[in-house]
Amino acid sequence: MADEDETKEYRWESGYEKTWEAIKEDDDGLLESNVADLVARAKRKRAALKATGAIQLGMMRHLFVVVDASACMFLQDLKPTRFLCVLKLLEVFVHEFFDLNPISQLGILTTKMKRSEQITVLAGNQKKHIEALQQLKDLSCEGEPSLQNSLERAMNGLKNMPAHSSREILVLFGSLTTCDPGDIQKTIKALKDNNIRVSIIGLAAEVRICREIAKKTGGTYNVLIDDHHLKELILSQVQPPAVAGSIEASLVKMGFPGGTPSVNDGTSDSSADHAPAYCLCHIDSETSSLMGPNGYNCPQCGSRYCELPVECKQCGLTLVSAPHLARSYHHLFPIKPFIERAQVPNTTHCFACAKLFVEAETNVYECENCHQIVCLDCDLFIRETLHTCPGCASDPVTAQMKTN
C-alpha cells in the first residue's frame, strides 16, 4: 500500500489491533507462530509446485477478474478500504500479468446489488484495463454480490475462446454471502464442462461454496491474512497454471510489427509506415491525438498501435514482439527445484542476497547445478521473477552449458 494512504488513517478509525499479541511469546505451542509457519510452508509448496516442470502450461490465457463491489467492500480492515486496496493491487496484477503473459487477454467484471457488470471486455491492452480500474475507484459499493451471475457472465465471455487457450476466472470475494437466482451447482457443472478454472481469493473468511467451486473447477481458494498476504495471493495468479487434461495443440497466427523506428533517422523503407496516423488504441477515446511516426503497424492491415502486445482491431491478428514471446517462453522450461536442506554448516549467508542466516531460519535451499545456497525468500524470488539461478548464471561453465 502506498504511504499516503496510511497517514490519512487515524488510529482510532482502524479496528482493534492488539499489537501486544503479535509479540507475545508462544508458550502454549499454538497460535500465531504456528500459522505463520503454515504460511511459510504454503509458500514453499507453491515454489515446489512451480518447479516441477515438464507440464504443459496454458500460456495463452483468457482471464476474467471478478471484483466484489458489495457493501462489505467498504470495510476498513484493509487500508484504506478493502475495495481501494484490491483495486490498487489489481493494477499491479494487470501490469504483471501482461508482463509475464504477453499473449493473453484479460477482462474485468464487478458484482454488486445481486447483479454483475462488465467493466472491460476480454482484451490484451493493459492500459485500458488499468484505466478502467482507476475509474472504478469512484464506484460506490452497495448491496450483495452474486457469485452465480458473475460466473455465468464470465463463462459466456470465455465459452467461445479457442480450445488451445486456458480459460480462467479469478474472483476477489469480500462478502461472506452470495445472492443467487438459481442453483449454483448447475453453474459449477457448466464451468467444469467448459474447462474453465475458477480461482477465488477470499477477503474475510473461508466460505464453503467458494472452496467447492475452486475445488471442482481445479482452481485455488485462498483467504488472506493481511494486505501483504493478499498481494502475494493475487500475484501468485500471474503465473500460468498447468493445463488441466489435454488441450489440443494448434497453431496461432501472430503478427510481428517491425521494431520502433526512431524519429530522427528517416531511413525507413516505406514512408506510409511512418506517416502520422491515429493510434487505433485511442481512436475512440476523447484524448486521442494524432501520433507521430512512433508506433507499431499491423503487418496484415497496416493499422497503427502505440503499444504491443495487442489484438488488431481491424483484422483480429495478435500482434506481439519477439521479446514478449521469449518472456513467456521460460514458463516452458522452469528451473529445477532447489533442494531443501537444514542449515549447512560452512555457509553463513545467502548467495543471492548476502543475508546472514539466523537461527530462526530452519531451512536453506541449494541449487542442484551450481550448489549455491540461498534463503527461502530468494528461492521464491528466483522462481517467480528471475527465472534463472544467479549461481548458475554467474558461473561461466554452467552458463555456457545452458546456452548450448
339 sits near other proteins (criterion: CB under 8 A): no
DSSP 284: T
Rg (CA), the chain: 23
HSE (side-chain half, CA atoms, 13 Å) at 15 = 9
When binding is defined by CB under 8 A, the residue of 34, 288, 289, 385 that contacts other proteins is 34
209 sits near other proteins (criterion: CB under 8 A): yes
CA dihedral angle for residue 262, residue 310, residue 241, residue 246, rounded to 10 degrees = -120
User: Contact 373/351 with Cβ under 8 angstroms?
Assistant: yes
In 30-114, where do the E strands start and end? 61-68, 105-112
Pairing of strands 304-305, 296-297: antiparallel
Closest CA to 170 of 265, 124, 106, 259: 106
9 sits near other proteins (criterion: CB under 8 A): no
When binding is defined by CB under 8 A, the residue of 204, 243, 301, 399 that contacts other proteins is 204
282 φ, ψ (degrees, to nearest 5): -110, 15
- Give SS3 for 314: coil
When binding is defined by CB under 8 A, the residue of 179, 247, 254, 291 that contacts other proteins is 179
207 sits near other proteins (criterion: CB under 8 A): yes
CB closer to other proteins, 30 vs 360:
30
Considering only 154-162, 178-186, 314-322, 378-386, which stretch makes contact with other proteins by CB under 8 A?
A: 178-186
Shortest distance, position 382 Cβ to other proteins, whole Å? 23
233 sits near other proteins (criterion: CB under 8 A): no
CB closer to other proteins, 152 vs 395:
152
47 sits near other proteins (criterion: CB under 8 A): no
> Rounded to whole angstroms, how far apart are CA atoms 134 and 2?
15
C-alpha cell at 96: 504483471
68 sits near other proteins (criterion: CB under 8 A): no
> Rounded to whole angstroms, how far apart are CA atoms 297 and 141?
41
> Rounded to whole angstroms, how far apart are CA atoms 386 and 330?
10
Question: How many residues line the site for other proteins (CB under 8 A)?
Answer: 35
Q: In the block, which residue shows the cell 504491443?
A: 308
CB closer to other proteins, 222 vs 318:
222
Closest CA to 231 of 89, 99, 46: 89
When binding is defined by CB under 8 A, the residue of 47, 122, 147, 317 that contacts other proteins is 147
CB closer to other proteins, 30 vs 249:
30
Considering only 223-231, 305-313, 324-332, 362-370, which stretch makes contact with other proteins by CB under 8 A?
A: 223-231
Shortest distance, position 187 Cβ to other proteins, whole Å? 11
Considering only 39-47, 277-285, 295-303, 389-397, which stretch makes contact with other proteins by CB under 8 A?
A: 39-47
When binding is defined by CB under 8 A, the residue of 4, 10, 12, 15 that contacts other proteins is 15
Q: Which residues bind other proteins (CB under 8 A)?
A: 15-16, 30-32, 34-35, 38-39, 41-42, 71-72, 77, 144, 147, 176-180, 183-184, 202, 204-210, 222-225
